[in-house]
Amino acid sequence: MTDKSDTRRVSGKPRVIVTRRLLPDTEARMGDLFDVTLNEQDKPMSRAELIDAVRSCDVLVPTVTDTIDRDLIDAAGERLGLIANFGAGVDHIDLAAARQRRIMVTNTPGVFTEDTADMTMALIISTTRRFSEGFRAVQEGRWSGWSPSAYLGHRIGGKLLGIVGMGRIGQAVAHRARAFGLRIVYHNRHPLPEAVENMLAARFEPDLDKLVAEADILSLNCPATPETHHILDARRIALMKQGAYLVNAGRGELVDEKALIAALAEGRLGGAGLDVYENEPDVPAALLKLPNVIAMPHLGSATEEGRGAAGEKIIANIRFWADGHRPPDQVLDTLI
Ligand SMILES: NC(=O)C1=CN([C@@H]2O[C@H](COP(=O)(O)OP(=O)(O)OC[C@H]3O[C@@H](n4cnc5c(N)ncnc54)[C@H](O)[C@@H]3O)[C@@H](O)[C@H]2O)C=CC1
Ligand SMILES: O=CC(=O)O
């Protein structure tokens, strides 16, 4: 039987506060459907503004740039019943605290999968083929013409890609990687059904240390949780093959950034392609100085198509919830 104790019905239009600027179509639809306050400035809300927001709305629509921790949830008023996150990752929300206050949390799974997998693949190719070094040389006027021996990278066809986190995005990465001729090994909480493994030509490796040690390219595509914090720590980085590459489009917290910088600076690793960082938006200067690093500003899901679809998901989740139904994308801390 479904526990409906955290669902509720809102009479009239639910009062919704959105913490960042969304796409114009999404904002217009929200304006029609809800009693909504939008963030016209697109500046992340201050702590005081967030506290005011959770005290006065039925639904908060935050993003990854908002810290929704236990103190903020404890400060929420009685009306707050739904945190409808704009984004797939929910590591910035204290899910257990929300559950204890019977505040439901939803996210936007699936709509960013293809875009983030494209970004992961782009980072794999950019690092192994030294695109950032070549681009910087052209941009800075240091390129002196074609050479048989300059900027040589590595062919990815035939190399072993290790994927950590074989969910929606991990599988979409595997699908692309297969087409590029990469061999695929993955680590996940659970092995995939055999038919899916066969379709992706992917092999499950239950021992993460083994996967880290054998991969030519390591891609992190799992969520940030207490269990995955620094899943790639100094010890595991030391296990990586000499000259191996790291790609991270998951979360910065998955990697011990200091240990990664040291390994790159020593020449132990071949390079790193990063979309996410431990303390966003701060990116360590030492990382940016390294020639074999390509650094993106958390752009994995940044397409009009994906962000538009995420807006639709937010609206659907709010409507289901306000009508007293369980929203389609409820996130349960007990299942993450
Ligand atoms: N760079 C970007 O812009 C974006 C980044 N993301 C990140 O990607 C993450 C994954 O997204 P999806 O694939 O949609 O999620 P998902 O829930 O479909 O897949 C996550 C996978 O990670 C696995 N996993 C969880 N804990 C693990 C552990 N300790 N060891 C190994 N595997 C573990 C799960 O079993 C699951 O298969 C998000 O949580 C978010 O942090 C998501 C969208 C955009
Ligand atoms: O990082 C973005 C997300 O959707 O998660």
The H-assigned helical ranges of the chain are 24-33, 47-56, 70-74, 95-100, 113-128, 131-139, 168-179, 194-200, 208-214, 234-239, 257-265, 285-289, 304-322
Q: What is the pLDDT of residues 4-61, one digit of tens each?
A: 456 778 889 999 999 999 999 999 999 999 999 999 988 999 999 999 999 999 999 9
* ipTM at complex level: 0.99
Q: What is the mean pLDDT of the chain?
A: 96
User: C-alpha angle with apex 326: 323 to 330, nearest 5 degrees?
Assistant: 130
Q: What is the pLDDT of residue 2?
A: 42
Q: Whose CA is nearest to atom 6 of ligand 1?
A: 250
Q: 188 alpha carbon to ligand 1 midpoint, in Å?
A: 10
pLDDT at 229: 98
- For 56-65, b/e burial (b = at least 16 CB within 10 A) is ebbbbbbbbe
Give the DSSP per-residue string, 173-225.
HHHHHHHTT-EEEEE-SSPPPHHHHHHHTEEE-S-HHHHHHH-SEEEE-SPP-
Model pTM score:
0.97
* CA distances (Å), origin 155, targets 95, 130, 139, 203, 218: 42, 11, 24, 21, 15
Amino acid at 44: P
| Probe target for ligand 1 pocket from 63, 85, 111, 221, with the most ligand atoms within 8 Å of CB | 221
Encoded tokens for 262:
């040291």
Exposed e or buried b per residue across 201-236, where buried means at least 16 C-beta atoms within 10 angstroms of its C-beta: ebeebeebeebbebbbbbbbbbbbbeebebbbeeeb
At 16 the pLDDT is 98
User: Which of 301, 305, 307, when mutated, tests ligand 2's pocket best, judged by the most ligand atoms within 8 Å of its CB?
Assistant: 301
Check if the beta carbon of residue 97 is closer than 8 Å to that of residue 119.
Answer: no
Distance in angstroms (rounded) separating the CA atoms of residues 18 and 318: 12
Ligand 2 midpoint to CA 11 (Å): 32
Domains of the chain: 4-111+303-335 (3.40.50.720), 113-295 (3.40.50.720)
Q: Give the model's pLDDT for residue 54.
A: 98
Task: Taking residues 76-90, report their average pLDDT.
Answer: 97
Task: Tell me, yes or no, if 298 is annotated catalytic.
Answer: yes
Mean pLDDT, residues 230-254 taken together: 98
For a mutational test of ligand 1's pocket, the pick from 65, 106, 116, i.e. the residue with the most ligand atoms closer than 8 A to its C-beta, is 116
pLDDT at res. 94: 97
Exactly one of 227, 280, 305, 325 is catalytic; name it: 280
The reported pLDDT for the residue numbered 5 is: 56
Instruction: Dump pLDDT digits (tens) for 145-182.
Output: 999 999 999 999 999 999 999 999 999 999 999 999 99
Specify the ligand 2 atom closest to the Cα of 298.
1
Q: From the CA of 89, how far away is ligand 2's center (Å)?
A: 5
CA 291, 292, 293, 294 torsion: positive or negative?
A: positive
252 pLDDT above the threshold of 80: yes
Q: Is 280 a catalytic residue?
A: yes
Using the atom order of ligand 1, give the atom closest to the CA of residue 275: 1
User: Quick one: pLDDT at residue 7?
Assistant: 76
The question of whether 154 is a catalytic residue gets the answer: no
123: nearest Cα among 292, 321, 308, 305: 292
Residues touching ligand 2 (Cβ under 6 Å) are 64, 87-89, 112, 300-301
The pLDDT-based confidence of 282 (bands split at 50, 70, 90) is very high
Q: How many angstroms separate the alpha carbon of residue 28 from the centre of ligand 1? A: 31
pLDDT higher than threshold 50 for residue 259:
yes
Ligand 1 within 6 A of 263 CB?
A: no
Distance CA 331, CA 327 (A): 10
Place 335 in a pLDDT band, splitting at 50, 70 and 90. confident
User: Of ligand 1's atoms, which has the minimum distance to the CA of residue 170?
Assistant: 13
CA of 127 to the centre of ligand 2 (A): 22
Give the largest CA-CA distance in the chain.
71
Q: Determine the distance separating the centroid of ligand 2 and the alpha carbon of 167, expressed in angstroms.
A: 14
Give the rounded percent of residues in the chain with a pLDDT score beyond 90: 94
